[in-house]
Amino acid sequence: MAGISKGALYLTEPEGQLALQHQIGFSPGEDQRLRVAFGCQALFAELALRGNVVLLPSEDVPSAIAQQLLVEAGTTALLVVPVGWGTRNFGAILLGARIEDIGGEDALAFARVLGAQMGQAIGLSRSFESLAASELRYRTLTENANDAIVLVSLDGIIRESNRRCSEILGYSAEELVGRAVWDLALPGREPEIIELFKEQVLAGAGRARPVELRCRDGRSAMMEFSSAPVNIEGETILLTIGRDVTEQMQAQTQLMVSDRMASIGSLAAGVAHEINNPLAAVTINLELGVNAVTRMAVEDGASPQMVELQESLGEALYAADRVKQIVKDLKIFSRTEEDTLRAVDLEGVMESTLRMAWNEIRHRAKLVKHYEHVPRVDANESRLGQTFLNLIINAAQAIPEGHVDRNEITITISTDERGDVVTEIRDTGPGISPEIFQKLFTPFFTTKAPGEGTGLGLTICRRIITDLGGEITATSVVGEGTVFRVVLRSAQREEKDEVPLPFARAARRRGRVLLLDDDPMIGAAVRRALMNEHDVVPLTSAREALNRIVTGEQFDVILCDVMMPHMTGVEFHRELGRVFPNQADRIVFLTGGAFTATARVFLDGVSNTLIEKPFQVRDLRALVNERVC
């Protein structure tokens, strides 16, 4: 109707060149030249960008070029029609006629409408393709994200969720959509989630504090959410990204527990040291008092008052010895060299642990012990004591108070066929149900009331035993009780046995004894204990003692505290060994505990004798008299 007999559609490619998309009316012979726009691609592109229909021949195109195009296209006239939509240009349509006049207004109007319709069709098609590609990218990003992504309405209803959200919570996307966010709260915690969601809505955007959500299988997950409002089809929706911080929070909690244990250990070590110093003075003076009263009773006769005084002092000495044992047990749990493995006497650690836990045991069950002679184990005394204490207290607390005659906690120590040392802690409590038993070593799982347990005790026990190269297992029968079994390898290292102190005998001669301790009470008590047989020089400064020896003073025995301010016993030994090695060999170290790792390594390596405070007068006399010859 428009008199057009030929047509070709050219669209602009990303490189900026026109490419033939479709043609009609051109002969096969013309097709090859048609594909390259008769060599005039740049010209057609330029004309299309003008936005107007251009007639060839016309003054817009040089006549020679126009004539050449008409000959090659086999037409008497050509129209170059821009194809576009709005401000976007997609290319051009080439329309040709052999006979008809297509330069009239009707033909030009038709060409403009055709270009506009074609541009609109292409524009819409590309918009739909872009939208589909954008949605595909969105789906790909959300479904492959490592964080949960949820769309939530302002009234708290989940509209959409991604794959990761389902993985964390255990619910499918279909199960989540339509739920209120507070439906995922732990029992009784719904108000907390509602309040948190309201804070997010009011804030508009930002990160919320971590919140604990209930998973489908009964677990809980700690989630940290960041939200921002988005407008979708005229409705404001919260786009919420949730990160699973469960493991991170657990790691932080475990670190806090470890730090707390380290702090308690350091505190216990310091307390033990501070108790042992005055306790040493108390013990020495009480022993001297008992000896003096006994001697007076023999010489002057035992009056009723004298007997009562003798009994009072004896009871006080016994009580001091009990304090000594308690502090000694406390020191097992206060070692600072936590990573140091030693050949440990397992029975000794167990006995100390039982004394520490006795207050929990005695109101609930009888304690039964079956100990075989077993080798030492490669372990850390403090860590091993921590493990046993946790297992024994758990066993005791599983048994209600008040029926001691019906319940037992049995401790068995033996070796297996491989020579490993096996410790079993058995209770006659109610046992553990299969549902709880399978979560026994799960971090943060606890059946205790809130505030009574962290759920990390058994997890830490397993980690300690595993790090020692051993294993810990449990068996339980509902109604019959529970057994925890700890297997440890026998020691592969030699450990110095404590050298028994010699029997106290009279001194061969009067000797000179240097007592070096920063606590004056220790000096006074030791001088009082030895003054009948030896000359005792009590000093509180290691530097003063070093100066006196350097200036010529000689001592038969040097009793030296390990931990002292300004100059420690280790430093004193090192300096004395440098100038007077024979005097350094005469040092006997005294300690109230609280070793540093450096001091422990030093004491393990030197041949000098070490005695622990508080010590008995007869043992001190025996040691000194043996060395004064």
Give the model's pLDDT for residue 451. 43
User: Across residues 436-463, what is the average pLDDT?
Assistant: 63
What pLDDT is stored for residue 428 in this prediction?
A: 92
Judged against a pLDDT cut of 60, whether residue 180 lies above it is answered with: yes
Inter-helix orientation angle 246-300/304-332, to 10°:
160
- What is the per-residue pLDDT across 524-534, written as a single tens digit (0 to 9) for each? 999 999 999 99
Give the model confidence (pLDDT) of 5-48 as tens digits: 889 999 988 877 889 999 998 888 788 888 888 888 888 888 88
* pLDDT at residue 178 tops 70: yes
Q: Which range has highest mean pLDDT (168-177, 299-308, 334-343, 365-374)? A: 365-374
Q: Is the pLDDT of residue 255 over 70?
A: no
For residue 329, give both structure tokens: 């047990």
Task: Give the per-residue pLDDT at 92.
Answer: 92
The answer on pLDDT for 446 being more than 60 is no
Contacts of 4 (CB under 8 A, 6+ apart): 79, 95, 96, 97, 100, 102, 107
- What pLDDT is stored for residue 336 in this prediction? 46
- 3-class SS at 571? helix
Closest CA to 213 of 227, 223, 203: 223
Provide the pLDDT for residue 496: 53
354's tokens: 């039982």
Q: What is the pTM of this model?
A: 0.47
pLDDT attached to residue 455: 47
Give per-residue pLDDT as tens, 568-604: 899 999 999 998 998 999 999 988 765 666 777 788 8
pLDDT digits (tens, 9 = 90+) for 479-497: 889 999 999 999 875 555 5
Confidence of residue 548 (pLDDT cuts 50, 70, 90): very high
H/E element holding 108? Answer: helix 105-143
Q: Is the pLDDT of residue 259 over 70?
A: no
pLDDT band at 538 (very low <50, low <70, confident <90, very high): very high
pLDDT above 90 covers a percentage of the chain that reads 22
At residue 22, the pLDDT reads 92
- Mean pLDDT for all residues in the chain: 83
End-to-end CA distance of the chain: 138
> Which amino acid is residue 358, in one-letter code?
W
- Selected residue with higher pLDDT from 421 and 284: 421
Distance in angstroms (rounded) separating the CA atoms of residues 578 and 389: 45
What pLDDT does 267 receive?
Answer: 63
Closest CA to 395 of 425, 433, 354: 425
pLDDT tens column, 112-123 = 889 899 989 988
- Triad 447, 451, 457: Cα angle to 5°: 55
| Cα–Cα distance, 42 to 60 (Å, whole number) | 14
pLDDT tens across 222-243, in order? Answer: 888 888 888 877 788 888 888 8
d(CA 319, CA 596): 29
Average of per-residue pLDDT across 536-554: 92
Task: Pick 594 or 315 by higher pLDDT.
Answer: 315
Instruction: State residue 229's pLDDT score.
Output: 84
